[in-house]
Chains A and B, each alone.
Chain A
Amino acid sequence: NAGVTQTPKFQVLKTGQSMTLQCAQDMNHEYMSWYRQDPGMGLRLIHYSVGAGITDQGEVPNGYNVSRSTTEDFPLRLLSAAPSQTSVYFCASSYGTDSYEQYFGPGTRLTVT
């Protein structure tokens, strides 16, 4: 199993550009989520999904969109990038609420200039 994979590893965007961060898992996990990690602020939940077709907002959802058309994939879209979205983004997955372990991907480092 590849586990949780994220692409790209690094990305530089100009303000106003759009892009999609990809996340995929091959563990047949129902639950997936996106976090951003900023220095001194820990990880903050952006959006999460409890199954295909079901998504919900986390702590810091503004400026981000998600969809979940398949169990395996959970892309994160930035519609109009802003410098405040410069961060490291992590995708995570889990079997469900009865399973306590979240498996994190390797992260995507995004810089918005």
Chain B
Amino acid sequence: QQQVKQSPQSLIVQKGGISIINCAYENTAFDYFPWYQQFPGKGPALLIAIRPDVSEKKEGRFTISFNKSAKQFSLHIMDSQPGDSATYFCAARWYGTYKYIFGTGTRLKVLA
């Protein structure tokens, strides 16, 4: 049973466009929702994160939108650049623990 469902599996966006990746979770016992960026051959790196008491968080071109009632959160990449081409993972952390559940990943390709 997958507790965090991520979509789409892959995404192709033109340079300058908006990339949107969605995640949905099933359990309300999560207290932290990070997004990770992973380049080929590298480990994931934290991109941006949000707590469930906040509906939106923006850092530069990256925004997380969080809908607690719908149990959904999404990553928006504004003005997408070829350098943003990577795999993105959403995750959720069990409340008060160090246990994370990851989504299955979205491979983003930004065309020049």
- Across-interface contacts of B42 in A (CB, < 8 A): 106-107
- Whole-angstrom distance between the alpha carbons of A92 and B42 in the complex? 13
Chain B min CB distance to A25 (Å): 12
Tell whether, in the assembled complex, residue B104 and residue A41 are in contact, meaning their CB atoms are under 8 Å apart: yes
Tell whether, in the assembled complex, residue B34 and residue A105 are in contact, meaning their CB atoms are under 8 Å apart: no
Contact of A97 among B36, B44, B97, B102 (CB under 8 A): B97
- Across-interface contacts of B6 in A (CB, < 8 A): 42
With A42-B6, A42-B105 as given contacts, are A101 and B46 in contact (CB-CB < 8 Å)?
yes
Tell whether, in the assembled complex, residue A104 and residue B44 are in contact, meaning their CB atoms are under 8 Å apart: yes
B49 within 8 A of A: yes
- Across-interface contacts of A96 in B (CB, < 8 A): 98
> Which B residue's beta carbon lies closest to that of A38?
B104
- Across-interface contacts of B89 in A (CB, < 8 A): 42-43
> Which B residue's beta carbon lies closest to that of A31?
B98
B60 within 8 A of A: no
Contact of B101 among A59, A101, A104 (CB under 8 A): A59
- Residues 35-53 (chain A) with a chain B CB within 8 angstroms: 35, 40-45, 48, 50
Chain B min CB distance to A64 (Å): 15
- Contact pattern, A 94-113, Cβ under 8 Å of B = 1, otherwise 0: 10110011101111000000
B62 within 8 A of A: no
Tell whether, in the assembled complex, residue A105 and residue B43 are in contact, meaning their CB atoms are under 8 Å apart: yes
- Whole-angstrom distance between the alpha carbons of A91 and B101 in the complex? 15
- Whole-angstrom distance between the alpha carbons of A97 and B99 in the complex? 10
Tell whether, in the assembled complex, residue B98 and residue A104 are in contact, meaning their CB atoms are under 8 Å apart: no
Tell whether, in the assembled complex, residue B98 and residue A97 are in contact, meaning their CB atoms are under 8 Å apart: yes
Contact of A50 among B36, B46, B98, B104 (CB under 8 A): B98
Tell whether, in the assembled complex, residue B102 and residue A43 are in contact, meaning their CB atoms are under 8 Å apart: yes
- Residues 62-105 (chain B) with a chain A CB within 8 angstroms: 89, 91, 93, 96-105
Tell whether, in the assembled complex, residue A100 and residue B43 are in contact, meaning their CB atoms are under 8 Å apart: no
Residues of A within 8 A of B (CB): 4, 31, 33, 35, 40-45, 48, 50, 58-59, 90, 92, 94, 96-97, 100-102, 104-107
| CB-CB nearest 4 A-B residue pairs | A104-B43, A42-B102, A43-B102, A42-B104
